[in-house]
Amino acid sequence: MTAASTGDAPRIAAIVYRSDEDVDALLAGFAFARIEAGDRLGGVVQRNVKDAAGKKIDMQLVDLITGEAIGISQTLGAAAASCKLDASGLAEAAQAVTRAIAADADLVIINKFSKQEAGGKGLRSEFAETIMAGRPLLTAVPESCAAAWREFTGDQSVTLPCAAGDVAAWWRGVTVRNS
């Protein structure tokens, strides 16, 4: 039994996912459904742009407060070995998270705690800022970064499988606790 099912849900949750699971669609679907239901969400979810063959050609983050898309990938060419993340896009995403905290969002979603964050970069400061502000936080963590996530959050978070029902149950537990 997880903490989310006991009614004592930690306010920080990470969906731990495998490479064959579409965590981006899961997070975005959850976020937009909660916004439609009247919850005040902030932060960013990822939208992947694909070509006609279904190959991912671009990554965007959607600001959950404004609905604006933020480009976070740069085209480097097929032979490139460096990171495809765009620093200016990440800076915009960081501002979106900061706005969500300032707006006292019911829930802050930050699309991923991945290699960049595990290495002390990316949106790691915004994760810490959200936690320090006491805001409920939801993110996704690839299996390869799960140990770094546990080290970062200690015993303050719960991990969830990549399943909509488990995410919804965690959120119900958080909202019951906050009532």
CATH number at residue 115: 3.40.50.300
Q: Is residue 2 part of a domain?
A: no
Q: Report pLDDT for 1.
A: 29
CB count within 10 Å of CB 130 equals: 28
149's enclosing H/E stretch is helix 146-153
Q: Report pLDDT for 53.
A: 80
Q: Which residues pair with 61 in a beta bridge?
A: 46, 70
Q: Is residue 138 part of a domain?
A: yes
Q: Is residue 6 part of a domain?
A: no
Q: Is residue 164 part of a domain?
A: yes
The rounded distance, in Å, linking the Cα atoms of 31 and 46 is 11
Q: Report pLDDT for 54.
A: 74
pTM: 0.88
Calculate mean pLDDT across residues 52-65. Answer: 85
Q: Is residue 5 part of a domain?
A: no
Work out how many domains the chain is built from and give that number.
1
The rounded distance, in Å, linking the Cα atoms of 149 and 142 is 10
**pLDDT higher for 3 or 136?**
136
Q: Is residue 163 part of a domain?
A: yes
Calculate mean pLDDT across residues 157-161. Answer: 97
Phi, psi of 106 (to 5 degrees): -60, -35
Q: Is residue 44 part of a domain?
A: yes
Domain with 163, as residue range(s), is 11-178
CA geometry: angle 146, 148, 152, nearest 5 deg: 115
pLDDT tens for 72-130 read 876 555 554 444 667 888 899 999 999 999 999 999 999 999 999 999 999 999 999 99
